[in-house]
Each structure stands twice: as C-alpha cells, then as structure tokens.
Amino acid sequence: MDSVNILADIVGIIGVSLVIQAYLLIQIGKVTIKSNIYLYSNFFGSLMILVSLFFHWNLASVVIEVTWLLISIYGIIRKLTQKSKN
C-alpha cells in the first residue's frame, strides 16, 4: 500500500470518528442538533470520508456521504441565518 492510500485511510477514519462522535453526543444528551460541535462534526466528518472515498471508490458510500454533507450544510446555513435574524 502506498503512502497516498494510507493517508486517505487515516483521513477517512478521522472522518468516521467525527460522525460517530456527533451521533454519540446526541444520544447521551451532551449536545443538541443545533450545537456547533454536532453540525461541524457531521460536516467535516462526511467531507473527510468523501476524500477517502475518492481513493477507495464505493458508489453507495459516496451517495450517503454526499447526502450527509448536504444535510449538514443545510443545518449550518439554517443556524447562521437564524442567528443573523436575532
């Protein structure tokens, strides 16, 4: 395995860790769905997984991660928009 693939795996594992962390924090009641840590962990986690998938292609995983990323972007924009209205 070359260093690029190893780096892609590391980036993907960090991304998975971020998404799992966000889900765990929601489940144990430490954050809400509007918390920055939740929103940005999902955003950066899915983005990092997509980087990894660029090197280790899997169509089904790309579809779910693009969807996860778009939902995260929606949540971030919605929170920023609501802040500016207040």
In degrees and rounded to multiples of 5, residue 28 shows phi and psi of -90, 5
pLDDT tens-place string over residues 7-32: 999 999 999 999 999 999 999 999 99
Core vs surface per residue 25-59: b (16+ CB within 10 A) or e: beeeeebeeeeeebbebbbbbbbbbbbbbeeeeee
Q: Could you tell me the residue ranges of all domains in the chain?
A: 3-85
Element (H, E) at 40: helix 36-55
Please state the pTM of the whole predicted model.
Answer: 0.91
- Band of pLDDT at residue 85, cut at 50, 70 and 90: confident
pLDDT > 70 fraction of the chain, expressed in percent and rounded: 98
pLDDT at 81 over 90: yes
Predicted pLDDT at 1: 67
